[in-house]
Chains A and B, each alone.
Chain A
Amino acid sequence: MQGTKVVRPFPFFRAGARASQPQLSKPILVLEDVYKFFRPDQPTLRGVDLSVERGEFVFITGSSGAGKSTLLKLVYRELRVDEGRVLFCGRDIARLTDKSIPFLRRNLGIVFQDFRIIDHWTVFENVAVALEIVSMPQRLIRSRVAEALERVGLAGQGPEQTSNLSGGEKQRVAVARAIVPEPALILADEPTGNLDPHLAIDILTLFEEINSTGTTVLFATHDHSLISKRDHRLISIDEGRVSEAQQGLKHWQGSSGIHTLVG
């Protein structure tokens, strides 16, 4: 960790810092009565309460424009809540100063629908960037990138030009970049949205493998065929509020059926 001059109100967000024992037993992410307004009369999120335990795999669903991306953006501080609190590892990230945001993001792995990888970089460079920003020694970067590429099924493909890869492979590179710093929480915003159904299942399985090693995963999607294949916790956003099916879609207890739930 370098750059110790930066003002950081929350020392936990320094890379390398470990959470204390009491923090580990608390939920990793808590949203308390969160409001987000893009228009003053119509909040996108209204009074959202949500608690995610360490090691959970959570689907976030809702129709287009429901606010799935908005919810995730509040967590990686692309957006700031208008009311309420967002606690990551017990710290209110809504109160983070701009200078502290990078240190929050080093604890998160973020994956998008549009991959967001740099086409004129090699696979290795695309993954290594997540470690270079914390000034990790090159030797260590090489071994950790190789390891991450192996985990996503791209072993030995580091030197390849990213522009030559298929969509599914590009998303695997993006997943490798997200997991290579070993973040506590992965935020995936419709990571399968641009992929064929069978590739979507592959990527979902990949996230589940990552989850099985202890990493918490928030997986936003409106693909109900994907959700219905699995038994994970399911959170649905509708008209700015969240409702929840603790045991997954198959055991949904609410009055509304699957189709109204996932749009």
Chain B
Amino acid sequence: MDVKNAITRARRGLREERRLYIVAVTSLAVAFICLGATLLGVTNLDAAATRWGQSGRITLFLKDDADPQDIAQLRVVLEGLGDVNEVTHVTPTEARESFLEEADVGADLSGLPSEVFPASLEVTLVQGVTRERSESIATRLAQFRAVSDVESYGIWFQKLDQLLWGARMLALGLALLVMFCVVAVIGNTIRLAVARRRQEIEVMKLCGATNGFVRGPFVLEGMFQGFASALLAVLALLAGYLALHESVDSTLAALTGSRVVFLGAWTLVALLAGGAAIGAIGSAVSVRRYLSV
């Protein structure tokens, strides 16, 4: 196939059908924005989950009447474990102070006595400890006499995982829907373009143009539309991100300790390349169906 000629013809086609194509690209960009926004959500959830997952923590709540010697022994055992990075002893007084400092619930809680806060050992695990490992450590530590309760935050990770799974499925569903939309919308605009250029197509065929020569420009035009729609959506999302991320960041940082991130480089590449590829497929299908060359 003569690519250079196909590009020249496709450019002429884009110029001539500009109105038709602008409508198609705009509506597809909206579809891509929905997909991109969902992917943005997944990316951020994923980043948060990774960060929390890596900073593994176990809290050992100690019995009020725990023997200080048992506690000391427990510390020795913990510090001997390869997975443990740091162990901090939090007394009820310290727990009360840090609670009053962090909890901004509006009500005056300064009257709370320190007895309601149990003493605890805050165990920070080393980077890269899996959740299964941290669960099994927690189960074993629960056997110790001084320990009243163990919190390994497993339930939170489970919830986060579920949320992440749901978001991923939503993104996948949307991706399929967008794919369908792109194929349908581009297929349709190409069908119209083929109808409008019937005469030219006939002339080229009479002169001895091959099927590839006739179809090439249409496939390129569809490819361009898919790419342009995805690019438009990415630019819109980026503009939205740049405008909002600072204000969202401070709120999110207070809530979860993480910041908003934009779509990763590979996601962007996949969106743009995917847009182009599906656009090309949509027009190729359409051209095959409506261009009986």
Contact = CB atoms under 8 A, between A and B. Distances in A.
A99 B205 CA distance: 12
Given A2-B2, A3-B1, A135-B5, A116 B206 contact: yes
Contacts, number: 54
A99 B209 CA distance: 10
A36 interface: no
B196 to A, nearest CB: 11
B23 interface: no
A118 B203 contact: yes
Contacts of B200: 118, 121, 129
A116 B200 CA distance: 9
A3 B210 contact: yes
A27 interface: no
Interface residues of A, number: 25
B207 A130 contact: yes
A103 interface: yes
B243 to A, nearest CB: 43
A108 B210 CA distance: 15
A116 B2 contact: no
Given A116-B199, A135-B5, A6 B206 contact: no
Nearest to A131: B207
B195 to A, nearest CB: 15
B206 A133 contact: no
A157 B16 CA distance: 23
Interface residues of B, number: 18
A216 B205 CA distance: 21
A249 B200 CA distance: 38
A237 B237 CA distance: 70
B240 interface: no
Q: By DSSP majority rule, is chain A's interface helix, strand, loop, or mixed?
A: loop
Contact of A133 (B16, B199, B202, B204): B204
A256 to B, nearest CB: 35
A46 interface: no
A223 to B, nearest CB: 23
Contacts of A133: 204, 207-210, 213
A160 interface: no
Contacts of B213: 133
B199 A104 contact: no
A129 B212 contact: no
Given A118-B199, A118-B200, A102 B5 contact: no
Interface in A96-125: 99, 102-106, 108, 110, 116-118, 120-121
A150 interface: no
A145 B204 CA distance: 16
A195 B16 CA distance: 31
Interface in B113-165: none
Nearest to A180: B207
Contacts of B212: 3
A110 B206 contact: yes
Contacts of B209: 102, 133
Interface string B199-225: 110111111111111000000000000
Closest CB pairs A-B (n = 9): A105-B208, A106-B208, A133-B209, A135-B2, A130-B207, A102-B208, A102-B210, A110-B206, A133-B207
12 contacts: A76-B206, A104-B208, A105-B207, A108-B208, A110-B206, A116-B202, A118-B199, A121-B200, A129-B207, A133-B209, A181-B207, A181-B208
Interface of B: 1-2, 5, 16, 199-200, 202-213
Given A3-B210, A105-B205, A177-B207, 19 more contacts: A2-B2, A3-B1, A99-B211, A102-B205, A102-B210, A105-B207, A106-B207, A110-B206, A116-B202, A117-B203, A118-B199, A121-B200, A129-B203, A132-B2, A132-B5, A133-B204, A133-B209, A134-B208, A177-B203
